[in-house]
Structure 1
Amino acid sequence: MPLTLATTAELVPDTTRVLVVGAGGIGCELLKNLVLSGFLRIDVVDLDTIDLSNLNRQFLFQKQHISQPKATVAAQAVQRFNPQASVVAHHANIKDPQYDAAWFAQFDLVLNALDNLDARRHVNRMCLLTNRPLVESGTAGYLGQVTVIRQGFTECFDCQPKPTPKTFPICTIRSTPSAPIHCIVWAKDYLFTQMFAAKAEDDDDDAIAAPSASDDPAEIQLLHLEASALKQLQTLASPETLGPTVFTKVFTEDIARLLTMDEMWANKPKPEPLDLATLYRQALDQDYVDHAVLEPPAFHTPAWSDQQVWSVAQNLHAFLYSTSILARRCHALTQANTEADLAPTVGLTFDKDDDDCLTFVTAAANLRAQVFHIDAKSRFDVKAMAGNIIPAIATTNAIVAGLMVIQATHLATGHPDRCQTTYLAKGTNRPRLFYNEQLATPSTQCVVCQRRYVTMHTNLECATLRDLLTALKPYRHALGLGDDLVIEEGGRLLYDPDFDDNLDRPLANVGICQHTFVTVAAEEPDPWHWPLSLYIIGSTDQPMPVAIKEPEQLAMPLHVKQPLESQKRKAEDQLSPDTTKIARADQPLVPTNGISSAMAGTADDSGPHTLTKPLENLMTQPADSHPVEIPSDNDDDTVTILD
């Protein structure tokens, strides 16, 4: 019988399915805590592979796991903590098309252990679409936060504006960078450290264990080659040969290894390895390098200005030159320490005001950006961005993961009223580490959660915007949308009454693709009605141009509608108090017809929740027991509208 943290009074139901997004610093601790707390059905998604720098805080990983998928290794490791648990690993991006609404809907709750804003926003919207509770988390150094997001009851991830982060966790350095900052962090905290910083005394020569029968022989061979190249980099003594060797290793050989992982590039552009000989010839033609001696970059000239984005040839020149200079400096420090009878192993520390260090990081980051089709940055920009990296702290991750499991247990055992937001803070005036507060209510200004999410099936190749409008026509006035609508996708205007050029074009031709969100709103916004967010599912065998699945999604839940109605009445009373009151004297606020009997009960009138399927009630019924308004024609699973 495995050791578990769950008490017998509140056992998590065996049927509870949990999705964990992220298997990094927080994710490793979270997975371990979940299986020890009685959560037995877990899926984990992560697109990253294990790097040497992960081993100091992501305790599920060991040296023999380097370059293997984090999700796979983490799933295998935690199952040893609780053999009864079933942990399914997905080495992929959570934004990939296969992880659609139907896939999210199979889980009872979702836990985010992510370190990037874009993926968090995506998971937030998918949980709103499928009405799944989300436990959100985050850490930054000694600071941490855990909160719960429930559609219509709490603020969502986007209710509070998120500024573009100026600091990035170390886990953002990935094998698949997507922004310039990822390349800059990689150049500064990985490459510079490996080449010029002092090496740890306990670093072993061999980072790969003996292969087992279950390992892929081809992958094992690639790992041995990479480890051998890394060892060579650490032992090379010639400043003249270090630059070309490093270039070939990190921009050619390592990229070629990444290209062998086909699943990583199924939905994104493949990186392109750089060829040293080709770039060297370009640099020769442009007089940036010389056969005999490598001249220092002329930073005082316009072509090398700190404000100028260097060409690929310039970056090669700067990379080779700065590598040579930094290697000579390291050698000089080592020699000086040896002569002074000090420890011979010394290294450099990155300083953004050190010209050689900054040149190296700028050139290395821009060359990596070239490989992954990312915009390069000027030396000035790199200097501003290179100092904003937050170190990840294992203890903070562990504490936050524990807080997440507490919130998940409240949800799984039918007690969402116990959920709260918890902050982890260090160094405040009060002698406390934890600060709790009630979950905030949704922001009325939020453009993400203040709308209804509807699933729409369509044939993208033949259905048009006109078909979409036709499908929504019966619901326009009930939804408060009126006759004049606006259709947008990803900030692009596709249609309004004064712009109907796209009306009869197929959806695919106007840029609407599978698993995108299309917004439909009134041309004149009504504060008392929400816009629609249509989640598009494309299918070539769809018999009708447009079909709305589960039309009850179009109705606004009463726990949301009642406060809006109350606000509307107050506003109208201020304008015409007497006539407004008379007009509503005999009108019930909540219609009695069409309310599902399964949702008419309350969460508090039947005693404690049973443990058979506590989350089933949680998904369909809020904790404060408001029923959900269902249209009278909700006996149809699919509504199809044709001209």
Structure 2
Amino acid sequence: MAGRYQHSKTTIGVDLFQKVSEARVLMVGAGGIGCELLKNLVMSGFSYVEVVDLDTIDMSNLNRQFLFQRHHIGKAKASVARESALHFNPDAKIVAHHASIYEPQFDISWFKSFDIVLNALDNLAARRHVNGMCLAAGVPLIESGTEGFRGQVTLHMKRLTRCYDCDAKPTKKTYPVCTIRSTPSAPIHCIVWAKSYLFNQLFGNTEEEEPTINLEETSQNAEEMAHLRHENEALKRLRDAIGSDAYGKLVFEKVFTDDIKGLLLMEELWKNRRPPTPLNFEEIAGNRKSTKPMRDSVEWNQWDHKVWTLEENAEVFLESVPELAKRLLEQRRTDPNYSLSFDKDDDDALNFVTATANLRAYIYGLEQKSRFAVKEMAGNIIPAVATTNAIIAGLIVLTAMKVLGGNWSDCKNTWVASTINPERLDKPNSNCAVCTTGSFILTINTRTATLRDLVERVIQQHPEGEDESQGLGISGEITVQEGDRLLYDPDFEDNMDVTLKDLGILHASRVMITNDDDDEETKNVTVVLHIVHSDSLGESETLFILDGDRDIPPRPRKPEPETNETKRSANDLTEINGESSLTKRRKMDPEVTAVDDDVVVVGD
């Protein structure tokens, strides 16, 4: 063992090597960056690493995720990464979790058990979640990302540096509704319609406003907008048939036949453009033949890259609709508000979007795309480069060593383009809604404690005396939320005597409290409670235990000074739609974030 690590001891010194070898490291994500990073960690002397990744290995991963080989396709990334990395260093202890980082087992206590967290994630929502957990646990976080030949490594430490959410994320690319839903002129228009409109209408939360479609009515398009509103209402009525044997056929005839016939009645719309051609269900799918035998008879990679025939698209559409409907209905048995969201790695969702977009493209005489091409366009991907991943992974390890050695102030946020460009660490954004909040661990019996207990005793009760069960003492008009779900405000007190468990507030839930106080010094205080369930509390006088910094900082509203991030020129990096793509990474919307360690194209 001494020989294995001699190079590391000589390079970084015996004292730092000792800290590195004793550190508990959490690595979230085992894709392109994650594979390089795990190899670097075990070869540099890190002896304990836990890896969390929900994905399985796909053919498209093999060109850059070198820990995986062809015979690993379909297996869990975290588990295979562990097995492969142990060949580099059998002495390392690697714990693999094939799971979502959102799962209750990965609670605040679990995060606290690590000395440092390294993100190699593939989406903005998960990055934000890990950022919030690290802030609450007080654990340093090293964030990373690549896009082609460019990449970045940033350090986030509670109250010392900017957190991941300190910089605003931009809104996503929008498309005029009439282009997407009446007169598409490019394959991307059909893909956006399938992904962001029809998928959401059938399987998503239709109470929410469509995020990527800009609806604007003018006198010139009033007739068209009226038709589209009629389409919407008919589609909402159609959802009542979800789960029926004929649901796929009903949707097909609604969107590819009846709606198109309705558009053809608006003759002015087609004076200067090719009119669409409605599809006939009986002619195309009357003698249905499953595509599954064909998929089984050819290499999956060939099926993924071929442009399907009209009949194949219709069959895939009719296969994917009931599968998605079945999953939705199963989840709604326990959660009536459950909705599906498009995920490029979800086979049913990708099949639906590919087939739907191609059927629509056929109707309008547009080019049709392979499943592989639709995945790239729907995911807004620029392919990753293995060399960039390797550079970024190396910089992550160097940054981690400095942090573990107590020299975090010597670290730099590093940007890789044609050169490696270090920048000083910036102070937290005083207006950040994430890192300026107070974070507490609330240990409570969720089976017996009610919402009234939470509001009146945990939140409003003032901390007095020596009792462990001391409230936060937040005054003013209180709002209590869990995610986007409102639990309580002064005008909504319906659930006050319902237990937390029955409200869905369980172990590892996160509850946010904000207030509207007359006192400017305590106005707009924001607090996050990380719930820990305990059966032993509530039976005695101690109802709950709060652990955290009671000096809760109010969120002031004042101009934010310029930083390296805000001053950085868009010309320093490749521009996409006139703005630096790497600068935009921190500002991204969940719909347009990095995929694996690939990156977004905001636009067509």
Normalising by structure 2, report the TM-score: 0.59
What is aligned with 1:301? 261
1:413 aligns with 2:405: yes
What is aligned with 1:392? 384
What is aligned with 1:574? none
- Select the residue among 494, 503, 511 that pairs with 1:510: 503
What is aligned with 2:217? none
Instruction: Give the gaps of 5 or more residues in structure 2.
Output: 175-193, 200-242, 266-273, 329-339, 342-351, 362-367, 465-469, 559-604
State the Cα distance separating 1:420 from its structure 2 match: 1.8
What is aligned with 2:531? 536
Query: What residue identity is the alignment partner of 1:162?
Result: K
What is aligned with 2:587? none
Query: What residue identity is the alignment partner of 1:455?
Result: I
CA contact (8 A) 2:131 2:141 kept: yes
CA contact (8 A) 1:29 1:401 kept: yes
Residue deviations 1:140-192 (CA, integer Å, cap 9, x gap): 2233211011111122222222346679xxxxxxxxxxx958x99xxxxxxxx
State the Cα distance separating 1:132 from its structure 2 match: 0.5
What is aligned with 1:82? 89
User: How many percent identity over aligned positions?
Assistant: 39
Distance 1:441 1:535 in 2: 25
Distance 1:479 1:67 in 2: 48
State how 1:320-469 maps to structure 2 within 5 Å: 369-370=324-325, 372-373=327-328, 374=340, 379=357, 386=378, 388-425=380-417, 432-468=418-454, 469=456
Residue deviations 1:444-476 (CA, integer Å, cap 9, x gap): 222221111101111222212332221341249
The alignment of Structure 1 onto Structure 2 pairs a total of residues equal to 424
Q: Please state whether the residue corresponding to 1:43 is helix, strand or coil.
A: strand
Q: CA RMSD in A?
A: 4.9
Distance 1:143 1:362 in 2: 37
Q: Radius of gyration: which is bigger? A: 1
Inter-CA distance 321–404: structure 2 relative to 1 (3 Å threshold): same
Distance 1:402 1:142 in 2: 15
Inter-CA distance 128–386: structure 2 relative to 1 (3 Å threshold): closer
CA contact (8 A) 2:439 2:548 kept: no
CA contact (8 A) 1:180 1:369 kept: no
State the Cα distance separating 1:362 from its structure 2 match: 6.7
Query: What residue identity is the alignment partner of 1:301?
Result: K
Q: Please state whether the residue corresponding to 2:388 is helix, strand or coil.
A: helix
State the Cα distance separating 1:26 from its structure 2 match: 0.9
Distance 2:127 2:283 in 1: 34
CA contact (8 A) 1:298 1:304 kept: no
What is aligned with 1:32? 39
Distance 2:275 2:24 in 1: 52
CA contact (8 A) 1:480 1:526 kept: no
Q: Please state whether the residue corresponding to 2:390 is helix, strand or coil.
A: helix
Inter-CA distance 72–316: structure 2 relative to 1 (3 Å threshold): farther
State the Cα distance separating 1:285 from its structure 2 match: 10
**Higher relative CO (CA 8 A, sep ≥ 6), structure 1 or 2?**
2
Normalising by structure 1, report the TM-score: 0.56
CA contact (8 A) 1:20 1:44 kept: yes
State the Cα distance separating 1:321 from its structure 2 match: 8.9
- Select the residue among 120, 123, 139 that pairs with 2:130: 123
Query: What residue identity is the alignment partner of 2:17?
Result: L
Query: What residue identity is the alignment partner of 1:148?
Result: L
Residue deviations 1:120-141 (CA, integer Å, cap 9, x gap): 1111111111110011111222
Q: Please state whether the residue corresponding to 1:507 is helix, strand or coil.
A: coil
Inter-CA distance 298–155: structure 2 relative to 1 (3 Å threshold): same
Query: What residue identity is the alignment partner of 1:131?
Result: G
Distance 1:499 1:300 in 2: 44
State the Cα distance separating 1:488 from its structure 2 match: 2.2
State how 1:134-149 maps to structure 2 within 5 Å: 134-149=141-156
Inter-CA distance 30–360: structure 2 relative to 1 (3 Å threshold): farther
Query: What residue identity is the alignment partner of 1:520?
Result: I
CA contact (8 A) 2:440 2:548 kept: no
What is aligned with 1:2? 4
What is aligned with 1:42? 49
What is aligned with 1:242? none
Distance 1:370 1:165 in 2: 27
Q: Please state whether the residue corresponding to 2:462 is helix, strand or coil.
A: helix
Distance 2:306 2:516 in 1: 54
Q: Please state whether the residue corresponding to 2:502 is helix, strand or coil.
A: helix
Query: What residue identity is the alignment partner of 1:553?
Result: D
Inter-CA distance 485–349: structure 2 relative to 1 (3 Å threshold): closer
CA contact (8 A) 1:464 1:506 kept: yes
Instruction: Give the gaps of 5 or more residues in structure 1.
Output: 168-178, 185-274, 289-295, 332-345, 426-431, 568-643
What is aligned with 1:491? 484
What is aligned with 2:458? 471
Distance 1:284 1:363 in 2: 7
What is aligned with 2:349? none
What is aligned with 2:551? 555
Distance 1:453 1:91 in 2: 28
State the Cα distance separating 1:85 from its structure 2 match: 1.4
